[in-house]
Amino acid sequence: AVIRREDYQPPDWLVPDIALDFDLDPATTRVTAVLDVVRSSAHGRPLRLDGDGQVPTKVLVDGNPHNDWRMDGDTLEIDLPGSEHRIETEVAIHPDRNTQLMGLYASGGNLCTQCEAEGFRRITFFPDRPDVLARYSVRMTADRKRFPVLLANGDPIASGDAEDGRHWAEWRDPFPKPCYLFALVAGDLSANRATFTTMSGREVQLGIWVRAADLPKTEHALAALQTAMAWDERVYGREYDLDVFNIVAVDDFNFGAMENKGLNIFNSRYILADPDTATDADYDAIAAVVAHEYFHNWSGNRVTCRDWFQLSLKEGFTVFRDQGFSADQGSAAVKRIEDVRTLRAAQFPEDAGPLAHPIRPDSYMEISNFYTATIYNKGAEVIRMMATILGPDSFRASTDLYFDRYDGTAATCDDFVRCMEFGSGIDLTQFRHWYSQAGTPRVSAALDHDAGSGRATLRLAQRTAPTPGQPDKEPFVLPLKLKLFGGETGAALSNEQLFMLDRPTADITFDGVTERPVLSINRGFSAPVIIESDRSSADLKFLSAHDDDPFARYEAMQQLMLDTLVAAVTLGRADHEPVIDAVRRTLEDPALDRAFAAEAVLLPSDSFVGDQLEMVDPEAVFRAREALRRDLGKHLAGLWRSAYANASQAGTFVYSPAAKAARRMRSVALGYIAASGAEDAADVAFAQFEAADNMTDRQGALTTLVNGKSDKRIAALDIFYNRYSGDALVLDKWFQTQALSMRDDTPQVVADLARHPDFSLANPNRARSLVGAFGVNQRAFHMAGGAGYRFLADHLIALDKLNPQTAAKLLPPLGRWRRFDPARATLMKAELERILATPGLSKDLFEQASKSLEG
Ligand code: ARG
Ligand code: ZN
């Protein structure tokens, strides 16, 4: 069944209060729910409560046993005479059989919940929709030995002993919330505790709950939480509102983390870190996700979503907020580069493929399939554009207005945009197309110069290709930051200006341009678009050395590299010299931040190069990229060696921006030393692997070895495996590094790893580390013959039986068939058809596969 945004109806019944009583046990948990229900208007419709597979073992209405209820599929329906009633239901659920990891489930011997989007109905009968806000009281009883810690949302109220070695605890959350924010945890956990004093002087008890043995790995997450709490007060004026804030880490989790009110539950990969097991990227991701979930307390919890079509209201905005937080912790330029890279790797392909959807979709079959890069990352770009258009003061005034006006309510994307308008006086009518239209706009930019009159004319045009269900697009509002530089002197010929391209075409004139101008456009990636310019490689080289906007400078280098690689693939030959020269200058520029330089000299990924082509030839892309890497490695051998040596003087491990930059440069340089084919490359890598006092250096060296031809990779993989055999998160890296290898034998290695005793589809992190990573390895996945496609389909079919959500997330690589030659496309479609023909297929996988086939 397809759910449509236009069909939204307010709830028939409200539930101001709910009391839940859990008799917890992994095999069978009894859940009693007492709902105070109120008829929302003068209608005669029955009360309908969502469930998922259960039948109530008991129903009471106003305290009396009630037999006049019926099941309409999974929905419990009760006719009620009046407008206010108290409904009590009891169900029995089975956490240890819950492999979907939605609702109440077991992980590592503990019990935990995940309710967003529609998991609460797997726990008890309730109107499972985000616009029904209730105050929750929760009582839990469980075996004291197995489950010494009992946590739920809000504040702890009371606890005590029960019979037979059991104990109980009561929690109450004073803030009305939708049921997707409900959480409880029962387990054998220890807390790393601290306090935070809010700006109005309230002391909050913080706790990060993990297995006792993992406590030493929680310092970074705890510090990040405190930093994030202070940042949200300073930057958005948002203060925390309960007396306690708990985070629990679990090993089995369908995604990153969850912002349950006062009780965030995290995938342990976004909490646990120490230098020996976590890379710098892991440290950064932990801080970002801790901040993200914390920021949801206002953007998501205090102000929630009216319906799931509004998901980007909380996710796009919260990603924008966490990006701002991370940018303030280190290099803002590098953070922007990383965020754009993520957008291009995950969202642009989505927007160009069969699963394209606007950031506010019009329909869905399964909402879990819409927790996408479009909703999250493009959603964040849309908020960023409004922030750019409004300017910082108006934007802050507008977010204040939004939080103030919608506090305690379930709002819409349009409510948010209206606040931006009220707060700034700017009309965003046309801007709203960003919410309704899918697809990435392409902007062509051509700059003419008339030396005689000193006039330069920039001709801009935008167009957006059709996406499924949207053949024609209205022009978007594109805030484009522009600047001109003199091609001879290098001087700035204009100030940076913000140009709003809101029509299909526009000309901009610049006067007094006395020398040949070079265009710097979409500076800071001010709009999430694809720029098509006719800039020569000389101009791109110039910008890569002189542009004063770091993102634009990075971008010029990327464009130069892309142009070179696309030429190599399509024409069969390319001049590597401009890229080599530009990279040389970047490495030699003493004024340049090392963190930035390390990112700027990296080639675009295989798949991003593939995305530029009419038809992807994965082997040709791989060969072109390897050839350019080899030339860069060889021609700049001395520079890579000295960059490597300089970066190696960092001393013992510290997590600081400067030390991170050094480690990053070291692994980038090592990659180029290996790419050059230098005889000693494997020795250098192996030495680094053995000497490393941190995971960044160790994994960087391992990656280099695993991509190379030397047998040292076997030794390194064994050492790594044995050293970390008890550490699931590090073993995930072991699987993932091999699944991402560019070696010829990767498909075979991956097939073997799928039979490794440590491989399991039941754990989402492990499934993603092998099956997910392989699917995005363009060369390996698309190797001729279709073995990769068969491998992915086999595993999706198997995983679907356990965990449909996680299976559906891994399907999109098969949906890229239109981008490949007929032989590959036929094989890919055959696998999609095989998936669709599987008996008992989930709604999740059905939606993804059927749309990917037809879209
Ligand atoms: N709200 C969570 C977050 O972004 C993610 C929940 C994901 N839910 C899902 N069904 N995929 O922080
Ligand atoms: Zn989120």
Phi-psi map region of 454: left, alpha, beta (phi>0 left; psi -120 to 50 alpha): left
CA distance 717 to 756: 14
Of all protein residues, the one whose alpha carbon is nearest to atom 8 of ligand 1 is 116
For residue 650, the model assigns a pLDDT of 58
Kindly give, in sequence order, each residue whose CB lies less than 8 Å from that of residue 216, ignoring residues fewer than 6 positions away. Answer: 274
Closest CA to 804 of 25, 345, 122: 122
CA distance 185 to 524: 42
> Which tokens belong to 172?
């109450």
Lowest-pLDDT choice from 408-422, 518-532, 643-657? 643-657
For residue 343, the model assigns a pLDDT of 99
Kindly list the distances between the CA atom of residue 690 and the CA atoms of 354, 591, 708, in Å, as whole numbers in the listed order: 45, 33, 17
Pocket test for ligand 1, best of 121, 247, 253, 255 (most atoms within 8 A of CB): 255
> Which tokens belong to 782?
């698309």
259 lines ligand 1 (CB under 6 A): yes
* Mean pLDDT, all residues of the chain: 98
Closest CA to 171 of 53, 54, 260, 39: 260
Pairing between strand 455-463 and 478-486? Answer: unpaired
pLDDT in tens, 707-747: 999 999 999 999 999 999 999 999 999 999 999 999 999 99
Task: Report CA torsion sign: 120, 126, 128, 133.
Answer: negative
Structure confidence at residue 195 as a pLDDT band (50, 70, 90): very high
Kindly give, in sequence order, each residue whose CB lies less than 8 Å from that of residue 171, ignoring residues fewer than 6 positions away. Answer: 137, 138, 140, 151, 152, 153, 154, 155, 156, 157
Cα of 256 vs centre of ligand 1, distance in Å, is 7
CA distance 60 to 87: 6
For residue 648, the model assigns a pLDDT of 87
Task: Over range 775-794, report the average pLDDT.
Answer: 98
Is-cis flag, bond preceding 33, omega within 30?
Answer: no
Q: Can you count the helices (H) and strands (E) in the chain?
A: 30, 31
Cα of 322 vs centre of ligand 2, distance in Å, is 10
Q: Answer yes or no: are the C-beta atoms of 764 and 778 closer than 8 Å.
A: no
Q: Answer yes or no: are the C-beta atoms of 498 and 412 closer than 8 Å.
A: no
Closest CA to 634 of 681, 597, 589, 594: 681
Task: Over range 40-55, report the average pLDDT.
Answer: 98
pLDDT in tens, 90-109: 999 999 999 999 999 999 99
322 lines ligand 1 (CB under 6 A): no
Cα of 303 vs centre of ligand 2, distance in Å, is 13
Q: Which amino acid is at 183?
A: A
Kindly give, in sequence order, each residue whose CB lies less than 8 Å from that of residue 744, ignoring residues fewer than 6 positions away. Answer: none
Kindly give, in sequence order, each residue whose CB lies less than 8 Å from that of residue 499, ignoring residues fewer than 6 positions away. Answer: 460, 479, 480, 481, 482, 506, 508
Q: Answer yes or no: are the C-beta atoms of 314 and 296 closer than 8 Å.
A: yes
DSSP-H helix ranges across 601-694: 606-611, 618-635, 637-647, 657-675, 681-691
pLDDT in tens, 558-608: 999 999 999 999 999 999 999 999 999 999 999 999 999 999 999 999 999
Ligand 1 atom nearest to CA at 293? 12
Structure confidence at residue 214 as a pLDDT band (50, 70, 90): very high
Whether the predicted pLDDT of 242 surpasses 80? yes
CA distance 460 to 507: 6
Question: Is the ipTM beyond the 0.85 threshold?
Answer: yes
CA distance 281 to 244: 29
Please state the separation of Cα 663 from the chain's center in Å: 24
Kindly give, in sequence order, each residue whose CB lies less than 8 Å from that of residue 72, ignoring residues fewer than 6 positions away. Answer: 48
- In Å, the largest CA–CA distance within the chain is 95
Rg (CA), the chain: 28
Cα of 254 vs centre of ligand 1, distance in Å, is 9
DSSP-H helix ranges across 90-164: none
CA distance 207 to 78: 41
pLDDT in tens, 810-855: 999 999 999 999 999 999 999 999 999 999 999 999 999 999 999 7
Quote the strand ranges of 328-393, DSSP E. 363-364
For residue 652, the model assigns a pLDDT of 86
338 is annotated as an active-site residue: no
* Burial classification of residue 43, based on how many CB atoms lie within 10 Å of its CB (0-12 exposed, 13-18 middle, 19 or more buried): exposed
Ligand 1 atom nearest to CA at 292? 12
pLDDT in tens, 639-679: 999 999 998 875 789 999 999 999 999 999 999 999 999 99
